Amino acid sequence: MFRRLDRYVLRTFIGPFVLASLFAVGIYAIIETAEKLEDVLQNYSGFTEVVAFLSRYHLYRLPILMPKLAYAITMIAVAIALVRLARHNELLAMKALGLNLQRVVLPLVVASFVIALSLGVLQEAMLPHVAGKIRDTDMKGGSEDDPHVYRDVMVRDSRGNVLVVQTYHSKQHEFADAEWMEANRPENQQVVTRVKSGRYDRYNKVWLMTGARQFRIGRGLKTVPFTDEIWETDLMPRHFTEKRVIFELVTTGKLFEMAGQIPGLERKLWVLIHSRFAFPFTIVALVLVGLPFVVRDDVHGAMLGVGVAVLICVLFYGIHIMLIDLGERSPLGLPPWLPGWGSTGLFTALGIYQFRRIGK
């Protein structure tokens, strides 16, 4: 009996999930198109070329867009499915038959986890293929506040040396708070140069540094004498925007490798790694929290539950972003797993409590 009921509940969920996905992606595409249309029209002429570029632009971004939207999409789809069951008095009939409502909605929880896990696997599989194409179609500048400012930039020169810059200004050709790591050194002789600021001398075609300190990383962190003011590299200003590493386009396996090689970004990378592993469990936690608000016998109560489910997603986003920001930049020294799993753990505990309340 439950096997047939599971299939029926899942069919009730799949339709709203597909529609919510199309709606969310469509809204995002419209907003992005409106923001970039002026730049696109400056680079492409003709209706066909513009449509072709915008189609490629949005298609290549789906593997990184869907996981970001999956929280709200899944919550809304689950809520709509239960509203449909309530509208036809099916939940009331199930209760009258003595069915456990926790067991009735369990397929929705399992489906949420499977969808989230599938999106995570799809992202990992697609990133190596779409990363270059996303770069080719990227017309966005730096930060939202200033298109000339890029944050958390990582570039490599032709010798494999790595530069990590917290802030780079593409118009003034200046950077601040940087770490320069030399390649091809034994593990116990690695050298890191920390630079307070730097600028490009376009007349002499060299980079000038101020506030530079050099450290040798072996069994401990040891300061070594360093008085150079000229940074020897073949990196040009344009490389900071053309060759920069965009971390959301890097696979998790590559992030593991980079976290062990780049001390300056180790904390940020580990926070990102933990966040990716927490992703499938986060969606399940949000569904568990929202279910009691939507599992109602009356349609009006269930519709109110849909609004509560949306508010739960907004609350989660706020807490999650705050913890991520604290984990990446705060001097509190939080362990990287706490920002990555903190909001997920909090909502999972709340979700388990809420799930036990269903039908009571």
Give pLDDT tens digits for 220-271.
444 544 555 777 788 888 887 766 777 777 888 888 887 776 665 677 788 8
Burial class for 91, CB neighbours closer than 10 Å (0-12, 13-18, 19+): buried
Angle of CA points 30, 35, 37, to nearest 5°: 85
Mean pLDDT, all residues of the chain: 79
Residue 64's contacts (CB-CB under 8 Å, 6 or more residues apart) are 123, 127, 134, 248, 249
Burial class for 19, CB neighbours closer than 10 Å (0-12, 13-18, 19+): middle
Query: What band does 194 get if pLDDT is binned at 50, 70 and 90?
Result: confident
Residue 66 pLDDT > 70, yes or no? yes
Nearest by Cα to 5 from 105, 75, 74: 105
Residue 71 pLDDT > 80, yes or no? yes
Q: Is residue 75 within 8 Å of 287, Cβ to Cβ?
A: yes
**pLDDT > 90: percent of the chain:** 4
Tell me the domain boundaries of the chain.
2-140+268-356, 158-234
Cα–Cα distance measured from residue 327 to residue 174, given in angstroms and rounded to the nearest whole number? 26
Q: β-strands 230-231, 206-210: how paired?
A: antiparallel
As a whole number, mean pLDDT of residues 158-184 equals: 80
Measured distance between the N- and C-terminal CA atoms of the chain, rounded to whole angstroms:
23
As a whole number, mean pLDDT of residues 126-132 equals: 76
Please report, for residues 246, 277, 278, 347, the alpha-carbon distance to residue 273 in angstroms, rounded to integers and kept in the order given: 14, 7, 9, 19
Question: Is pTM beyond 0.85 here?
Answer: no
